[in-house]
């Protein structure tokens, strides 16, 4: 599968930079309305990450395969943002589609639309490999220091199930722009646990001195994010996704990136 290079724009600054008009190919803003610009948030392996100056991952390959089945084309350069900046970038027409393992949920659907789901996941609790813990439930995290990425389901679990429940204080929660930073903090002993999506946690466990303590079931579904008024693009992506799932390419990508 081909890998697409990316145009590196950091966090909220990326939005300001893009507003300057550097993205003429955005739908409605260029000569070719069939060209769409994708945005993502690296640091979430194996869905999206930077390797040797390239943006790679399951989401990258999947969206590319899906778009190839439509009348649309992907712009050569993907846009890189912090996860929390992706929806504002979409609303401001700086990108046309989000491919970032984004969970479909009612709160987000008040602002944006989604494609059909393309992946199911739960949350997990990641700990240091040499840490002797017997945690099995979210309640077992009472009194420990926990981290999660801003704007993610992991953060919602920490806020709703730990802070609001009185199991940890606000000061016991560390937030990160991406999970690479969070896992580094875990390895360095600055937090006791990280709450994040199961496949991402398993990827870190394969590469670093960390392990999954337990899984917290959330039944999430990921979808590609779109503006609410882009019904034609939404239908095209749904049809392309169905084709990729039916012809076997979806399973090939799952095997490649998750080793199933």
Predicted TM-score (pTM) of this structure: 0.83
Strand partners, 35: 73
CATH of domain 6-118+223-258: 3.40.190.10
Q: Distance (Å, rounded) from C-alpha 199 to C-alpha 38?
A: 22
Q: Distance (Å, rounded) from C-alpha 181 to C-alpha 163?
A: 22
Q: Distance (Å, rounded) from C-alpha 83 to C-alpha 89?
A: 10
Q: Distance (Å, rounded) from C-alpha 185 to C-alpha 195?
A: 13
Rounded-to-10 torsion of CA 22, 30, 98, 239: -160
Give the model's pLDDT for residue 104.
97
Query: Which CATH class, in words, describes the domain spanning 121-220?
Result: alpha beta
Q: Where are the domains of the chain?
A: 6-118+223-258, 121-220
Q: What are phi and psi of 140, to 5 degrees?
A: -70, -10
pLDDT < 70 positions in the chain: 1-32, 260
Q: Distance (Å, rounded) from C-alpha 73 to C-alpha 35?
A: 5
Q: In which residue are the tokens 């600055």 written? A: 190
Is residue 149 within 8 A of residue 176, CB to CB? The reply is yes
3-state helix, strand, coil in the chain (%, to 5): 40, 25, 40
Q: What is the pLDDT of residues 72-95, one digit of tens each?
A: 999 999 999 999 999 999 999 999
Conformation bin of residue 3: beta by default, left when phi > 0, alpha when psi is -120 to 50: beta
- Find out whether the peptide bond into 170 is cis, omega within 30 degrees of 0: no
Give the model's pLDDT for residue 9.
35
Give the model's pLDDT for residue 44.
95
Give the model's pLDDT for residue 32.
61
User: Do the domains spanning 6-118+223-258 and 121-220 agree at the CATH topology level?
Assistant: yes
């Amino acid at each position: 599968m081909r890998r697409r290079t990316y145009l590196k724009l950091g966090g909220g600054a990326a939005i300001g930079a893009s507003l300057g008009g550097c993205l003429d190919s955005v739908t409605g803003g260029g000569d070719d309305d069939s060209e769409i610009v994708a945005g993502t948030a690296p640091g979430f392996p194996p869905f999206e990450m930077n390797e040797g100056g390239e943006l790679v991952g399951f989401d990258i390959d999947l969206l590319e395969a899906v778009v190839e089945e439509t009348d649309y084309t992907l712009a050569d350069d993907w846009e890189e943002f912090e996860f929390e900046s992706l929806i504002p970038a979409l609303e401001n027409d700086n990108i046309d589609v989000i491919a970032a393992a984004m969970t479909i949920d009612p709160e987000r659907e008040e602002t944006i639309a989604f494609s059909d789901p393309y992946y199911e996941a739960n949350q997990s609790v990641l700990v240091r490999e040499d840490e002797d813990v017997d945690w099995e439930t979210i309640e077992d995290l009472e009194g420990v220091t926990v981290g999660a990425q801003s704007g993610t389901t992991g953060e919602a679990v920490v806020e709703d199930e730990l802070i609001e429940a009185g199991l940890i204080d606000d000061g016991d929660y560390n937030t990160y722009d991406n999970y690479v930073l969070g896992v580094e903090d875990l390895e360095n002993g600055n937090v006791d646990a990280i709450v994040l999506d199961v496949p991402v946690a398993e990827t870190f466990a394969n590469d670093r001195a960390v392990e999954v303590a337990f899984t917290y079931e959330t039944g999430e579904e990921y979808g590609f994010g779109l503006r609410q008024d882009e019904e034609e693009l939404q239908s095209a992506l749904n049809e392309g996704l169905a084709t990729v799932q039916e012809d076997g390419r979806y399973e090939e990508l799952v095997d490649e990136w998750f080793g199933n």
